Structure 1
Amino acid sequence: MKPFKILSWLFFLSFFTNSALFSQELLINHVNIITMEDDKVLEDHSIYVKDGVIMEIAPEEEISVAGIRTLDGRGMYLFPGLAEFHAHIPPPEQYGEVFQEEVLWMYLANGVLRIRSMLGHESHLALKDRVEKGEISGPRMFISGPSLNGNSVTDPDAGRQMVRDQKAAGYDHLKLHPGLDTPKFLAIADEAKKEGIFYGGHVSMDVGLVTSVTNGYRSVEHIDGYLEAMITDKSKLDPTKSGPFNMLVVGDVDKSLLPGLVKMTLDNKSYIAPTMTLFERYFGFQPAYELRQQPEMFYLPGQLVTQWFNTKTQLESSGVLAEAKVKPYLEFRQWLFLELHKAGVPMLMSSDSPQVFNVPGFSIHREIESMSKAGMSNYEILKTGSINCAQYFEEGGEWGVLKPGAAAEFVMVQKNPLEDLTTMQKPQAIMIGGKFMQRDELQLQLNLIRQKYIRQ
């Protein structure tokens, strides 16, 4: 079938104003496709999508489908939608249900088509259901349950009950926070295995990295626990002196202990959610007043940005975020991230958003920049937000890759992201849930959000 020729890409964007036109079948011709099955680009190919599934990818002359709408994607690149695997959906009582939906739009507009929400609320399950039914637009969601921590888990039996309750409620994952002692943690881990639900999170000090990972931690958030496991003198880990995340004792790390920790991580098939940008922005030495003025902050309620500003400036005023103190820790994190990656530990694209100065969707591109600066290749960076995330939930091949039979979830950009990561910051179009949304529609939603929160 010959493609329907259009005069220009701009005409393509303006002509198809209703994304619902493509809710059933779509054929895109003359597009360059990064399947993520390898690091090659299928140049000048066609992709045929029906009912939200990729039916065929082949050179144009090999696909013949009569009677469907056809687009010319000449010069454009397609890659699987990004996944943000340490995300947060705000609870409705924070800024209302509308703000929840705005957060979902911010993810979509930045090419983030899947999220793993890491602090659950019962409203998130209903939100996920509405997205899956097509009632509202948003990324596909994996929802963790409410926090299991030293306060919420009163004893081992209570921990077991929380696991059973969260599994029964329909949560996809368990999120553990600090403060758990070893008996509580082991009870949670044992019950989670019985219930068949993944769990991970922070590493409680009393439990430690080794016990966490060897007892089934699916993901270690923030690369937590590795620094502490490489400190031989545990008396150094005094929270009144060692600073946030023990960053002030980085000089006492024994790096010779890392190979053993790497082997343990690989043997237990644990993943790492590094959230590099969280530490560079929240706990970094870049001043809060600079971060407050960055463009993406204007897509959020002013009250929330002010709260972030106050949180960081309190740390700044205490002197704990002085460059001389923070820089060695950030450099250590970059080294640790790259060493784990080079050893084969699977990384999950994660930024922890919304969190202090990490805006949903936008922060993923800052995370991408951080991973690149640390030394990860462009292809491996894309893997952290696609193949690795699908494999995390044992859904490899079902999404996070472009091939026949996989979900039709992809992003269209102007340049090859294997050569230029910044092109992903401005998706020209996305496809998710059987709908094709062009840049105009995504930008309109961002403009409406920005207008709502315009500062007087």
Structure 2
Amino acid sequence: MKLYKTLLSLAFAAIFFVPTFSQEFLIHHVNVVTMLDDKILEDHSIYVKDGKILEIAPEKDISARGIQAVDGKGGFVFPGLAEFHAHLPNPDQFGPEFQEDVLWLYLANGVLRIRSMLGHESHLTLKAKVEKSEVPGPRMFVSGPSLNGSSVADPEAGRQMVRVQKAAGYDHLKLHPGLDTPKFLAIADEAKKVGIFYGGHVSLDVGLVTSVTNGYRSVEHIDGFLEAMLPEGTTIDPTVSGPFNMNLVGQVDQTKLAGLIQLCLENKTWIAPTLTLFERYFGYQPAHELRQQPEMVYLPGQLVTQWFNTKTKLEADGVLAETKVKPYLDFRQKLFLDLHKANVPMIMSSDSPQVFNVPGFSIHREIASMSEAGMSNYEILKTGSVNCADYFEESGEWGVLKPGAAAEFVLVQKNPLEDLTTMQKPQAIMIQGKFIQQDELQRQLDLIRKKYGRQ
């Protein structure tokens, strides 16, 4: 096994250990989905140099210039997808090799940017290695370690954690449940002082309104809305209300949503919906079926078993009965679409790796869920490209295809604005100045599967 891991590391290095952005390319005969609008630039070429797009022009108007040329064979090119609720593993879970495997799982699925939402110091090191092209992987935004009711002893401790994480180089703060209002307000105030985005779950004591009005950049999992839509005076008993208080969905007052939407719009709050997480982790599809899905072979068997045990325990306790869960999932799906129709901005997020959500693959399940909820193909692509760049105030630098933007894109066979499933099978990706074709992406998937002894 040790020899195998060494050979695997050498294989990675052979592909990627070269100076950053050392090559230039001309990709011929592609139809370009720029995401500047919903139009297609038919039969164009893209000239890439030093990791940037220098030119996009009709095929007849651009020459090879004596540089390396690739024939796109009439395929479609769109900006790489972003997974904006990811969880990079810690090295003490399944080793540092698993961290790098996860990065390949994203790349092989056309996910070229991630926002990792549960920080560890090793993630900063990994991010730096990716930026230097020492390790292949998507570009990263990394949150710090969790700020929650247990990790934050008092308001001043919360302020200190914010300062430490900002100084360490984290891009974002992740808040988890259990914070009381004084602790939350201290964290929010300090984050604004030092200039770092923050968001996450909505603590019950704090509530959605206080979170949003005090600068929550993103509400993860559409959390806090159900509780904010309950009648005044409703008592929430966590011992009977179920995960995310799903058992209270029948008490929701829909007339309260309009005011919450207006609050989000006024405060420029973003939503990370993670629809597929709830459909799979807290949904009523049996664990034994999810365990057999094909993408599970790309993870350590021990991890999949942990997920199976977690979900089957909920099933055995009656928590995930269809009669309990379906009304809640229907509520979330409608809430997602209502927020979107009201122009509350969405960022593509599935929460991976998480119970039966395999990195990269889960984004395509999230895309299917957004489509089923009623979002158009173009708007779905925006959540995973334009919107994510806007989130970090980097509009136009990536997430679109135009001269001057990062050369981060995916080549597929069909038009994704007409067929979302085509994105599940990238023919090639462009990342970090490298054009990585389908056979290499598949080879890396095969190496990962064999490493974990999966059939």
Flag whether TM exceeds 0.5 (same fold).
yes
- Measure how far apart 1:74 and its partner are: 2.2
SS at match of 1:74: strand
Q: Does the alignment pair 1:341 with 2:373?
A: no
Shift of the alpha carbon at 1:232?
1.3
User: What code does the residue aligned with 2:172 have?
Assistant: H
Which amino acid in 2 is paired with 1:228?
Answer: E
Q: Counterpart of 2:170?
A: 171
Tell me by how many angstroms 1:60 deviates: 1.6
1:194-213 matches, cutoff 5 A: 194-213=193-212
2:55 equivalent in structure 1: 56
Q: Does 1:124 align with 2:142?
A: no
Query: In 2, Cα distance between the equivalents of 1:195 and 1:24?
Result: 38
Question: What SS does the aligned partner of 2:73 have?
Answer: coil
RMSD of the alignment, in Å?
1.3
Does 70-79 or 129-138 show the bigger shift? 70-79
Name segments (4+ residues, structure 1) moved above 6 Å: 17-22
Q: CA deviation at 1:455?
A: 4.3
2:363 is the counterpart of 1:359: no
Matched, 1:73 2:72: yes
Identify the residue that residue 228 of structure 2 maps to in structure 1: 229
The CA distance in 2 between the partners of 1:198 and 1:52, in whole Å, is 27
- Indicate the residue corresponding to 1:30 in structure 2: 29
Q: 1:455 to 1:55 in 2, by over 3 A?
A: closer
- 1:7-66 superposed Cα distances (whole Å, 9 cap, x missing partner): xxxxxxxxxx97879842100111100000000110001110001000000102222352
Tell me the residue number matched to 2:39.
Answer: 40
CA distance in 2, matches of 1:18, 1:93: 26
Q: How does 1:307-322 map to 2 (within 5 A)?
A: 307-322=306-321
| Of 272-281 and 58-67, the range deviating more from structure 2 | 58-67
Question: What number of residue pairs does the alignment pair up?
Answer: 440
Partner of 1:9: none
Contact 1:220–1:270 under 8 Å retained in 2: yes
TM-superposition CA deviations, 1:248-288 (whole Å, max 9, x none): 11010000000000000000001000000000000000000
1: CA distance between counterparts of 2:15 and 2:28?
20
2:378 maps to a residue whose letter is Y
- Paired residue type of 2:115: R
Pairwise CA distance, 1:235: 3.4
> Which residue in 2 is equivalent to 1:215?
214
**Amino acid in structure 1 at the alignment position of 2:334:** W
CA distance in 1, matches of 2:177, 2:305: 26
- Alpha-carbon distance in structure 2 between the residues aligned to 1:52 and 1:431: 9
Q: Is the contact between residue 429 and residue 435 of structure 2 (CA under 8 Å) also seen in structure 1? A: yes
Distance 1:182 1:234 in 2: 18
* In 2, Cα distance between equivalents of 1:348 and 1:279: 16
TM superposition shift of 1:310: 0.5
Q: Check conservation: 2:25, 2:68, Cα contact below 8 A.
A: yes
> What aligned pairs does 1:224-373 form with structure 2 within 5 A after superposition?
224-373=223-372
* Alignment partners' CA distance in 2, 1:174 and 1:49: 34
CA contact (8 A) 2:114 2:140 kept: yes
List aligned pairs for 1:182-193, cutoff 5 A.
182-193=181-192
Correspondence for 1:435: 434
Give how far 1:234 is off: 4.4
> In the aligned structure 1, how far is the partner of 2:79 from the partner of 2:454?
36
**Greater shift in the superposed pair: 371-380 or 58-67:** 58-67
Give the Å deviation of 1:236: 3.8
Give the superposition deviation at 1:244.
0.4
Q: Secondary structure at the match of 2:382?
A: helix
Distance 1:18 1:451, change over 3 A: closer
Partners of 1:432 and 1:290 in 2: CA distance: 35
When the two structures are superposed, what TM-score results if normalisation uses the length of structure 2? 0.95
Using the TM superposition, give the Cα deviation of residue 121 of structure 1 relative to its aligned residue in structure 2, in angstroms.
Answer: 0.1
1:3 corresponding residue in structure 2: none
Following the alignment from structure 2 to structure 1, what is the Cα–Cα distance between the partners of residues 60 and 23?
22
| CA–CA separation in structure 2 for the residues paired with 1:74 and 1:187 | 56
SS of aligned partner of 2:240: coil
8 Å Cα contact 2:298-2:454 kept in structure 1: no
Q: 8 Å contact 1:84–1:114 — kept in the other structure?
A: yes
Task: Report the TM-score, using the length of structure 1 for normalisation.
Answer: 0.95
Letter in 2 for 1:182: T
**Contact 1:77-1:412 within 8 A present in 2 as well:** yes
SS in 2 for 1:49: strand
Query: Identity of counterpart residues, as a percentage?
Result: 79
* Displacement after TM superposition at 1:71 (Å): 1.6
Is this contact kept in 1: 2:83–2:113, CA < 8 A? Answer: yes
CA deviation vs aligned residue, 1:362-400 (integer Å, no higher than 9, x gap): 000000000000000000000000000000000000000
**Which secondary structure does the structure 2 equivalent of 1:76 belong to?**
strand
One-letter amino acid of the structure 1 residue matched with residue 51 of structure 2: G
Preserved contact between residue 226 and residue 249 of structure 2 (Cα < 8 Å): yes
Q: Is the 8 A contact 2:277 2:351 kept in 1?
A: yes
Distance 1:452 1:29, change over 3 A: same
CA contact (8 A) 1:429 1:439 kept: yes
CA contact (8 A) 1:236 1:249 kept: no
Query: One-letter code of the match for 1:28?
Result: I
Contact 1:23 1:436 in 2 (8 A): no
Instruction: Quote how far apart the aligned CAs of 1:233 are.
Output: 4.2
Distance 2:113 2:70 in 1: 25
Matched residue SS, 2:398: coil
Whole-Å Cα distance in 2 between the matches of residues 374 and 258 of structure 1? 18
Query: How far apart, CA to CA, are the structure 2 residues paired with 1:52 and 1:282?
Result: 38
Alignment of 1:101-120 (within 5 A): 101-120=100-119
Query: Is the contact made by 2:284 and 2:320 (CA closer than 8 Å) also made in structure 1?
Result: yes
Query: For residue 130 of structure 2, what is the amino acid of its counterpart?
Result: V
